[in-house]
Chains A and B, each alone.
Chain A
């Protein structure tokens, strides 16, 4: 087959010692910048462009591809170990990954992340090779109405992760939405919540927010309650993944890939949303849901596969159509231009050998990353055995460095501090962190897509379902919302089995998963609304019941950062 022979030629080019060296440099450099919050593959490639112009285009692009994939790997390492996500697509990994690390399973978390990333990268790149034209056609057919529908679905998924106290979850979501509002309104150009500070008119970057709330907040919190008495050292545990870990990881890897690739290929998709959707899906489908919130391996395997698949997905429209779907792709396109190569639909025809060598090096880079990262996983895990002062000082140091180096403005550090204080407060008072991050990510996108959709249809609301994909997604949304109701009705028709009828309903509640378990107590006390998403109805039962409820949820679905 033509494709296969072109790919083989590509491998021949990419496997020369010189190009392998560039691939190696690329992946190492990519991993290093992925580790740092703030600087990412996009900025790195942009900064290296002048330097790279002296190289052969093929070699330069091999290096850039290595940087790109490497960035995804590096971001997960610090997410897991230090709760300092290096990339926005690694934010979700930090949730379960860091908890696993704290439970002594850092090596497993890193391993599942590395292998999952590799699997997803390999599958994604293969999909890129085989399906590029179809994917691109699909990607281009989506407009604002479809994207809005997808955002609505994502918002619905947020209700699944509000934590044990829905009220506090919503409060956190509200704060996240408010933070997402900061900046210039996209349509009318007016400043919102910028208080006259020009530096705020571009809004607040989600990685800065995540780093501030996760890492800086945690450092402050630990400082406030540092355990002074010597602790029984939690053994780092076995360095490799056990059979159980493999069994629990492989399906999330595949599902994560399925989420990540399409979103990466979609112009307005991005890598954050598929990681989040993967997380929620794994939580729903997991056979060990009680582990979510304490370090569940599925919660790392899925999102990590998703973000690497998204990276491969992003390259598909870039190579096939000259359409960049994220900042790194945009910079790589600029790189093409610098070499005098015109990216676009004719790229495969005009520069076939270069493109195929690039794709071959994606496979190679992916493999190199696995080779480099997997054996190092136990070594990195030892990092956690550093004495606490050094560990947390180091976290602050690197968070500061990363945030500062993006703009070289001390203002960004002030933001880190203020948001870090917010993170501190949230930890103190049990406000879950995930809804806040999701509010920051989803809010602006929801608003933008809704307004664009209405603009394109000249204010006509029916424009919102004018695209087939939009309709499909809304049907899914309706199903997700109505499923618990339908299930409850269906069960009500069956012969009653004592007091379990009321409790059964919410147990199948899609979005309200974790809150379902304790509702078994509900019938014993009084007829409270069984709908899991009710706000704090139990509050009227007085202080004792309130505390009891809180205790029951102590380790349950409380979304720790």
Chain B
């Protein structure tokens, strides 16, 4: 019973072990298809390091799984802004990630000014700020300022997207 309970408790960290194992396997599989063209002058070859790394990751994966199953646990990071007494608050993380993703999707066709505004506005909203108008204005100002700043200062033209010709 104890071992089952402890196994269930440590389950989420087993995900880390699984990730390590997956990456290790991926590295090894990718290395397998490599060719070694210059074996005389390059005895180490392109495969050696991937094999070592893949092996290291697999070993760590197994050892970590064992460690977790026996009750070892990694320390979650603490900090002044972080309150670890509750489990992860997905209602905050997901909108934040969503704002980031929205920026990625919008930046090329809607332009930086729009996507950057969405990014900042969405982020502050996700993190709890509810001053919608003020935040919107700040976001827009930041996006515009950086847009012009980069172009005039560095000659880097961030995408204008939908606002092409207007700015």
Contact = CB atoms under 8 A, between A and B. Distances in A.
Interface of A: 29, 32-33, 39, 44, 47-48, 51, 102, 164-165, 167-168, 170-171, 173-175, 177-178, 181, 185, 187-188, 190, 192-193, 216, 219-229, 231, 234, 387-390, 392-394, 396-397, 400-401, 404-405, 408, 410, 413-414, 416-417, 420-421, 424-425, 427-431, 443, 446-447, 450-451, 454-455, 458-459, 535-536, 539-540, 542-544, 546-547, 549-550, 553-554, 558, 560-561
B76 to A, nearest CB: 5
A223 B127 contact: yes
Given A393-B120, A539-B70, 7 more contacts: A174-B53, A227-B82, A396-B119, A401-B116, A430-B73, A446-B49, A550-B72
A389 B30 contact: no
16 contacts: A33-B154, A39-B154, A44-B154, A48-B155, A165-B72, A223-B96, A227-B83, A231-B80, A388-B81, A405-B150, A417-B101, A425-B16, A443-B53, A455-B41, A536-B72, A546-B70
B37 to A, nearest CB: 5
Contact of B81 (A175, A226, A542): A226
Interface residues of B, number: 88
B44 A451 contact: yes
A171 B21 CA distance: 10
Contacts of B125: 389
Contact of B46 (A187, A425, A535, A560): A187
B20 A174 contact: yes
Nearest to A549: B72
Nearest to B96: A223
Contact of B89 (A51, A224, A424, A543): A224
A181 B71 contact: no
Contacts of A549: 72
Interface in B72-114: 72-77, 79-84, 86, 88-90, 92-93, 96-97, 99-101, 103-105, 107-108, 112
Given A177-B56, A178-B57, A220-B93, A451 B42 contact: yes
Interface of B: 6, 12-13, 16, 19-20, 23-24, 26-27, 30-31, 34-38, 40-46, 48-50, 53-54, 56-57, 60-61, 63-64, 66-67, 70-77, 79-84, 86, 88-90, 92-93, 96-97, 99-101, 103-105, 107-108, 112, 116, 119-120, 123-129, 138, 142, 146, 150, 153-156, 158-159
B70 A396 contact: no
A410 B104 contact: yes
A171 B60 contact: yes
B123 to A, nearest CB: 3
A235 B43 CA distance: 59
A39 B19 CA distance: 32
B81 A222 contact: yes
A543 B19 contact: no
Contacts of B88: 224-225, 428
A436 to B, nearest CB: 12
A46 B156 CA distance: 12
B76 A401 contact: no
A420 B156 CA distance: 25
A225 B44 contact: no
A429 B84 CA distance: 12
B141 to A, nearest CB: 12
Contact of A175 (B13, B37, B57, B107): B57
B71 A544 contact: yes
